[in-house]
Amino acid sequence: MLNLSCIQGVKMVGLEAIIKGSNIITDILNKEAEQPVSDIFKNRFSQAKGSLEGKIKKMTGSGLGFKRKNKSKKHQSQGKRGKVNDSIR
């Protein structure tokens, strides 16, 4: 089962991938004739890496700090329930 921080991390990486993917497409469409596509990918991936590292550093910490629930004390009258006889008809 995935915990909350893992889900938030995956969501953050996915969002960053969508943003940088759209930036790469825009750069390819607007590139100059002599500019190689590999340079565009290298630049955008290094930007994405730096951005994700910064966000991950901000996320690490104490977290939400889930609290344990206090167990309620059972009263003696709430023990096992006895059978009811249907002998009266």
Q: Please state, in angstroms and rounded to a whole number, the distance separating the CA atoms of residues 82 and 45.
A: 69
- Of 53, 45, 44, the closest CA to residue 9 belongs to 53
- 16-45: average pLDDT: 89
Long-range contacts of 79-84 (CB under 8 A, 24+ apart): none
Tokens of 77: 């009258």
The pTM is what?
Answer: 0.54
> In the chain, what percentage of residues exceed pLDDT 90?
7
Per-residue pLDDT of 42-53, as tens digits, reads 998 898 888 888
Q: Tell me the three state secondary structure of residue 65.
A: coil
Q: Please state, in angstroms and rounded to a whole number, the distance separating the CA atoms of residues 20 and 82.
A: 67
